Amino acid sequence: MASLYPAAHIVFFLAVLTTIRDRISGWIAYFVVLLISIPFAFWGIETYFGGGNDLVAAEVNGVEIPMQAFTYQYQQQRQYLQQLYGGHLPPGQSDAAIKRTVLQGMVRAELLQQVVNNAGYRISDQALLDAIMQLDAFKTHGQFDPRRYEQILRLQGQTKESFEQGLRQQLAVSYFEDGIMQSAFLPPSAEQELQRLKNQRRAFSYFVIPADPTSVNIGDGTIARYFAAHRDGFQTPERVKLAYVELDEKDLLGKIEPSRAELHKYYQSEADRYTTPELRKARQILLKLPEGADQKSIDKTRQRAEQLVARLQAGADFAKLAQQYSEDKLSASSGGNLSFIARGDLNPEVEDVLFQLKKGEISDPIKTDLGFQIIQLVEIKPAKQKPFAAVRAAVERDFRQQKAQDRFLEQAERLETLTYEQSTSLEPAAKALGLDIKQTGWVTRQHGSGIASSPKIRAAAFGEDVLQSGHNSDVVELGPNRIVAVRVIAHEAARPKPLSEVRGDIERLLAARAARENAVETGQRALAKLRNGKPMHEVAAQYKTSVKTSGLVGRADTQWPQPVIAKAFTLNKPSSKAAETFGGVQLAEGNYAVIALREVQPGEGKADDGALGAESSINYGLRERDAVYQALEAAAKIDINRSNL
């Protein structure tokens, strides 16, 4: 999918539509994001639910976003986050925040679609075809398969017309965003300043004040009070046992036993796959263009190339002219010989010409990234189909793979339908598809083995519909063409642990917390002494620790702790060579580092490899894109019905 969408794809869809993929049709590969996103984003999700619901979540320039559509996408996003975080929402995330994110994404999607429609963005048939052919889900053995394309759309309940219309809309929005991103750039002076900062080097000294939990005494009263205030945090985890059915393409592969007639028919229908490609032997003369050549240089080089072509057409020996004039030293010494070439070996400009020449013909000058190339076709080796006997093993492998994929798609659709329609048992689906019903051991929200090691499975198991209502789960995708449906067969609620059982855990927790706080307080006192002029070695000695001293290091240096380096690069430059500036930072293990910055060496402004400039331009492009979003939103008439949310 990455090759289909430009970098500026809408962030909202990357999150929300992945969720839709997982819940609705997890058994289809990632392309379902595209299949589902298009009607939702651009035609309105209400087309999936019908009318009849007048509640509106928002209105964008008079176009309504139905409350039913908003609620659906909110639920999908919430479930997606719970899957990522073991059945819980991530820290700091709330239902209100999810609603804001989802609604903002839906509003922005509608607004962008209006903008590209009004601006007259159009996607050509060729661009649409190229996009479809790049989708891995529609490929068989790495090649676009029209039969598979139609089959998958049919299983999704989509027509080619609706899918392709939606894809045009999606691409139009992506091109609009891509145009903003690619037109943004940083001035050279800003790039040089960024490079100077990146290449800056600093020298510092530091010592570490340890956080020592063994030096902290936690009383029984403190432990008891903490336990009383956090009793819910000391429980045996809620757990379940699951029954499940699993459909895996690998299992289906072993059940396919093709006859010789079937293999031979497949061999004939897929002849191109078992054919040695056409090869063409060529010679070339290359006249190079200097980097950044102006039009005068281009015209002059083209004129030289045309003169050589005229001499060749008048009967001059190609090999001799190549030896004399070609600037490709490797081939020039052999008379311009390029040996035998298959499609894909050369750049498209040269290849398209070469495969249209007749034997002995000489091309006109071809302008490429290298310069101007003149090609002569020397010899043709026609494509040749390999004998069936020679490729039978490959034919059988490919046949079995395709049949297994087809069977998987068909059975996945049936499994999803049966587990939904017969939601109180897995037996009808297992019986209809010849699958075994298996069981897991105990599974908690955070831990499980086997299939339950997947956060997706645990999230499904602890979902309200499965855990509380006793229904089968939605089909869950565990990998490429591997899906599972589960149901709960045993459930144990969480139970409080007695204080006696968790006393040691609480004591260690509180001691570690107190030790961290003590280290920070001690570090702050040490910094005060340094700022008052006391030598660093003396201060370190008071706290029974030693000073470590660096030479000049860069931001990415790995010899020293990264938090220390990061803090050192935030400190102000010392006012003189004899002066120092001080700061402190808490390390991951709770210790506190006291830092003295001694020297700052300016970095060079010239980029080493252009990577920073490219990264900076991308970041700047993202900011420009977001600024356009904000401008569009400010100019639009957007009404949010907060009372409905």
Cα–Cα distance measured from residue 16 to residue 74, given in angstroms and rounded to the nearest whole number: 8
Alpha helices by DSSP H, listed for 532-557, are: 536-542
The span from the CA of 8 to the CA of 379, in Å, is: 46
The answer to whether 550 and 205 are in contact (CB under 8 A) is yes
For residue 107, which phi and psi values (nearest 5 degrees)?
-65, -45
Nearest CA-CA partner of 419 in 377, 476, 350, 369: 476
pLDDT confidence of residue 156 = 65
Q: Are the C-beta atoms of residues 395 and 454 closer than 8 Å to each other?
A: no
Residue 435 has pLDDT above 80, yes or no: yes
Question: 369, exposed or middle or buried, with CB in 10 Å at 0-12, 13-18, 19+?
Answer: exposed
Closest by Cα among 194, 239, 173, 246 to 436 = 246
pLDDT at 456: 87
- List pLDDT tens digits, range 569-613: 999 999 888 899 999 999 988 999 999 999 999 888 665 455 555
At position 329, the amino acid (one-letter code) is K
User: What crossing angle do the helices spanning 67-84 and 95-119 adopt, rounded to 10°?
Assistant: 120
Sheet holding 366-367, edge to edge: 337-341, 279-288, 371-381, 366-367
Q: Roughly how many angstroms between the first and final C-alpha of the chain, as a whole number?
A: 33
Tens digit of pLDDT for each residue in 437-487? 999 999 998 889 999 999 889 989 988 889 999 999 999 988 888 999 999
Nearest CA-CA partner of 350 in 378, 380, 377, 326 = 377
How many other C-beta atoms can be found within 10 angstroms of the C-beta atom of residue 109?
Answer: 21
Q: What are phi and psi of 513, to 5 degrees?
A: -65, -45
Query: Which residues have C-beta within 8 Å of that of residue 254, sequence separation ≥ 6?
Result: none
Q: What is the pLDDT of residue 16?
A: 36
Tell whether the torsion through CA atoms of 459, 464, 470 and 476 is positive or negative. Answer: negative
Residue type, 485: A
Least confident of 77-86, 424-433, 611-620, 631-640: 611-620
Q: Which amino acid is at 562?
A: Q
**What confidence score (pLDDT) does residue 14 get?**
36
Asked whether the beta carbons of 522 and 586 are under 8 A apart, the reply is: no
Tokens 């051991």, located at residue: 441
CB distance 540 to 530 below 8 Å:
no
Query: Is the CB of residue 188 less than 8 Å from the CB of residue 628?
Result: no
- Hey, which bits of 520-572 come out as E strands? 548-549
Each residue's pLDDT tens digit, 202-244? 999 999 999 999 889 999 999 999 999 988 888 888 999 999 9
| Integer CA distances (angstroms), 641 to 68, 100, 553, in order | 13, 12, 55
Q: What is the model's pLDDT at position 28?
A: 37
Q: Tokens for 449, please give them.
A: 């083995």
φ and ψ of 443, to 5 deg = -130, 130
- Count CA atoms within 13 Å of residue 626 on its CB side: 9
Distances (CA, A) of 249 to 23, 29, 412, 480: 20, 13, 10, 8
pLDDT at 618 over 80: no
- Of how many residues is the chain composed? 645
Say how far apart CA 30 and CA 28 lie, in whole Å: 7
Task: Of 556, 559, 552, 536, give the one whose Cα is nearest residue 600.
Answer: 552
Among residues 565, 569, 634, the alpha carbon closest in space to that of 601 is found at 569
Per-residue pLDDT, averaged over 352-373, amounts to 91
Q: How far apart are CA 145 and CA 136, in angstroms?
A: 10
Contacts of 305 (CB under 8 A, 6+ apart): 285, 287, 365, 372, 374
pLDDT of residue 573: 93
Q: What pLDDT, on the 0 to 100 scale, is given for residue 467?
A: 92
- Best CA proximity match to 640, nearest among 70, 63, 54, 58: 58
Mean pLDDT of the chain: 84
The mean pLDDT value for 269-284 works out to: 88
Residue 103 φ then ψ, to 5°: -65, -40
pLDDT at 87 over 80: no
| Residue recorded with tokens 């091309």 | 363
Task: Return the closest-CA partner of residue 328 out of 357, 368, 297, 281.
Answer: 368
**Rounded to whole angstroms, how far apart are CA atoms 312 and 457?**
70
Mean pLDDT score, 512-538: 95
Angle 377-383-388 (CA atoms, 0-180°, nearest 5)? Answer: 165
Strand 139-140 with 63-66, pairing: unpaired
Band the pLDDT of 47: cuts 50, 70, 90: very low
- Mean of pLDDT values over 407-429: 93
Q: What is the pLDDT of residue 1?
A: 31
Residue 100 CA to residue 41 CA, distance in Å, equals 17
424-459 as b/e: b if 16+ CB within 10 A: ebbeebbeeeebebbebeebbbeebeebbebbbbbb
Which of 599, 596, 600 has its CA nearest to residue 535?
A: 596
Q: Are strands 638-640 and 56-60 parallel, antiparallel or unpaired?
A: antiparallel
From 613, 570, 625, 624, select the one nearest 189 (Cα to Cα): 613
Among 121-125, 126-130, 188-192, 501-505, name the most confident range: 501-505
Percentage of residues of the chain with pLDDT beyond 90? 45
| Distance (Å, whole) CA 104 – CA 110 | 10
